[in-house]
Amino acid sequence: MRAPDTNVADHGDQINEFLRSFLDSIRSNYDLEIIKIPEALTLTQSSKSKHYADISAGLMVPGFSTGLRSMSYRKVEVLAVITAQIQGKSKDFIRLLVKELVAQRQNITLGA
């Protein structure tokens, strides 16, 4: 079953405000911290199958390759999704949040 199409503009301001507030509160601690799948599973309290189902459904950020057979996650991205879930955000909101988090990976820089 396909998820309903949601216009980013519908939630764009909410997502931007959520991200700005969330990232400002934790940026110094986690901005570039990288975690592996076991820690991501511990943070989300998910099984591997549920974790990958959530990624497929757009409800969790996908990992990125850190080697031939190694995937990692930005801790800040996983925490942002968890925070949205705790706040009771809708699945459509979380899908758009995940898309925005992945898009922001292109803008990551080192240094202050």
User: What would the pLDDT profile of 33-67 be if each residue is shown by its tens digit?
Assistant: 899 999 999 999 999 999 999 999 999 999 999 99
Contact of 105 with 81, CB cutoff 8 Å: no
Give the lowest-confidence range in 8-12, 46-50, 82-86: 8-12
Give the lowest-confidence range in 11-20, 43-52, 75-84: 11-20
Instruction: List the domains of the chain with CATH numbers.
Output: 31-105 (1.10.1660)
**What's the mean per-residue pLDDT of the chain?**
84
Per-residue model confidence (pLDDT) at position 98: 96
| Residue 4 phi, psi dihedral angles, 5° rounding | -65, 145
